[in-house]
């Protein structure tokens, strides 16, 4: 296991990158601690897979350094880095049996056959494929194949890190949950350094201790799931995490008050925003729907099972509010913002509020 330092890494797929927009990774500087479970979360094309491939050595960064336990590995090949990686779509060796597929990474490294057998059997039990060990891999279903891919990632115990690139995309929803909790258990048991790329917030939030949110080639926030939810550092994190995402409303500031059209909203403190476009962010969970506050026109109520999502119009802006499954929407609905859930953003970045 290793501590992975990503030292001011920039990467471009173009031969001569000039502008910032030529870079798939603008600048990433972060340390993945030894034994941590990290999720890299972000929309498609934000550079998360690029970062993962740079860590595993499938790509070499245009600029910057990569350190494993303090040793520079930037120019080392994938083999020399001793990394395990699981890809989005199942990669299996068609002509081999399930057993041989799992043994492959070990045999390539000339592990004695008795150890191979022990490790492979352990892994087969872990991924629940022991009954298929002697079967040819090509006859299996997509999720069984993906389990083999996962198994090949987990079979070597001496790896520096295990990287997952959206590994559960092809898996059925109920299996996803099972596999994710198995990975989590493995992490607790063996203390692997794990980096898990996904664009699914539920997956990221349930798997990882710390979530790294990426947007447009940059890391916008690193934090625990709770931090990302309560205090998004960037409006993108607000939109991206949570369902529905955070309400972001353009406001004008006046001391401890934010003005939204004709409405005045009391803030918990004085925001330290002296320039740029100011926005107020509030999660739907903190919007209280009732008979007092600011008047809204309710446009739609979506019942999503455990709660209802109310879509409404406040001063010409769309907002969402979450209410309980049994709550009713009043005839002349009004909303209040819970001060605990209010964040203020200047030019999309969160600003602190003073007393």
Partner 1 sequence: MEKTWNNKAWFLVLPVLVLVAFSAVIPLMTVVNYSVQDTFGNNVFFWAGTEWFEELLASDRFWEAMVRNLIFSFIILAIEVPLGIFIALNMPKKGWGVPVCLVLMALPLLIPWNVVGTIWQVFGRNDIGLLGYYINALGIDYNYVQDPIDAWVTVIIMDVWHWTSLVVLLCYAGLVSIPDAFYQAAKIDGASRWAVFRYIQLPKMQRVLLIAVLLRFMDSFMIYTEPFVVTGGGPGNSTTFLSIDLVKTALGQFDLGPAAAMSLVYFLIILLLSWVFYTVMTNYDAER
Sites of contact with partner 1 (CB under 8 A): 53, 56-58, 77-79, 83-85, 87-89, 91, 93-96, 104-105, 108-109, 138, 149, 152-153
Q: Angle 287-227-311 (CA atoms, 0-180°, nearest 5)?
A: 25
- Give the whole-angstrom CA distance, residue 203 versus residue 160: 23
Q: How far is the CB of 95 from partner 1 (least distance, A)?
A: 5
Nearest distance from C-beta of residue 136 to partner 1, angstroms:
9
CB of 82 to partner 1, least distance (A): 9
The nearer residue to partner 1, 57 or 242, going by C-beta atoms, is 57
Q: Report the residue number, 123 or 149, with the smaller CB distance to partner 1.
A: 149
Question: Angle 98-108/113-126 helices, nearest 10 degrees?
Answer: 130
The Cα–Cα gap between 215 and 292 comes to 38
Residues 6 or more apart in contact with residue 178 via CB below 8 angstroms: none
- Nearest distance from C-beta of residue 110 to partner 1, angstroms: 10
Listed residue (315, 351, 348, 349) closest to 334, CA to CA: 315
**For residues 8 and 107, which CB has a smaller minimum distance to partner 1 in the complex?**
107
In a 13 Å sphere around the CA of 64, the CA atoms on its Cβ side amount to: 23
Q: Choose between 149 and 235: whose C-beta lies nearer to partner 1.
A: 149
Closest CA to 292 of 338, 332, 265: 332
Which C-beta is closer to partner 1: that of 22 or that of 100? Answer: 100
Nearest Cα neighbor of 351 from 272, 254, 258 is 272
Residue matched to tokens 């929309």:
43
Instruction: Tell me how far, at minimum, the Cβ of 126 lies from partner 1, in Å.
Output: 18
Reduced DSSP (H G I as helix, E B as strand, rest coil) percent helix, strand, coil of the chain, to 5: 30, 35, 35
Question: Which of 6/106 has CB closer to partner 1?
Answer: 106
How near is the Cβ of 91 to partner 1 at its closest, in Å? 4
Min separation Cβ 89 and partner 1, Å: 6
Residue 311, strand partner residues: 300, 320
CA distance 81 to 60: 12
CA 85 – CA 49 distance, rounded (Å):
11
Report the residue number, 153 or 217, with the smaller CB distance to partner 1. Answer: 153
Crossing angle between the packed helical segments 142-154 and 173-190, to the nearest 10 degrees: 10
CB of 57 to partner 1, least distance (A): 8
Comparing CB distances to partner 1, the nearer of 78 and 202 is 78
What's the closest the beta carbon of residue 164 comes to partner 1, in angstroms?
12
Residue number with CB closer to partner 1 (148 or 273): 148
Contacting residues for 139 by C-beta, under 8 A, at least 6 apart? none
């Amino acid at each position: 296991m290793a501590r992975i330092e990503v030292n001011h890494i920039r990467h471009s797929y173009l031969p001569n990158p000039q502008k910032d927009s030529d870079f798939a990774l603008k600048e990433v500087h972060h340390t993945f601690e030894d034994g941590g479970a990290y999720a890299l979360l972000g929309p498609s094309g934000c550079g998360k897979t690029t970062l993962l491939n740079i860590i595993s050595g499938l790509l070499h960064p245009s600029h910057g350094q990569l350190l494993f336990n303090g040793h520079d590995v930037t120019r080392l090949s994938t083999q020399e880095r001793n990394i395990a990686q699981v890809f989005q779509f199942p990669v299996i060796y068609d002509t081999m049996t399930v057993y041989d597929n799992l043994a492959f990474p070990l045999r390539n490294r000339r592990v004695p056959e008795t150890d191979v057998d022990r490790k492979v059997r352990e892994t087969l039990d872990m991924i629940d494929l022991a009954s298929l060990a002697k079967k040819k891999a090509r006859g299996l279903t997509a999720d069984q194949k993906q389990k083999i891919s996962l198994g090949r990632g987990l079979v070597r115990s001496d790896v520096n890190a295990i990287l997952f690139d959206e590994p559960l995309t092809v898996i059925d929803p109920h299996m996803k949950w099972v596999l994710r909790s198995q990975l989590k258990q493995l992490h607790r048991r063996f203390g692997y350094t794990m980096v898990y790329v996904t664009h699914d917030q539920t997956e990221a939030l349930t798997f990882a201790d710390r979530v790294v949110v990426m947007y447009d080639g940059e890391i916008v926030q690193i934090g625990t799931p709770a931090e990302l939810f309560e205090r998004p550092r960037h409006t993108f994190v607000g939109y991206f995490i949570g369902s529905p995402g955070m309400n972001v409303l353009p406001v004008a500031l006046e001391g401890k008050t934010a003005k939204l059209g004709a409405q005045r909203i009391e803030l918990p403190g004085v925001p330290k925003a002296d320039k740029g476009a100011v926005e107020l962010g509030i999660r739907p969970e903190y919007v209280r729907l009732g008979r007092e506050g600011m008047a809204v026109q309710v446009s739609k109520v979506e019942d999503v099972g455990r709660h209802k999502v109310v879509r409404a119009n406040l001063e010409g802006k769309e907002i969402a509010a979450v209410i309980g499954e049994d709550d009713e929407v009043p005839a002349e609905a009004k909303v209040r913002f819970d001060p605990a859930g209010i964040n203020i953003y200047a030019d999309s970045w969160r600003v602190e509020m003073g007393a």
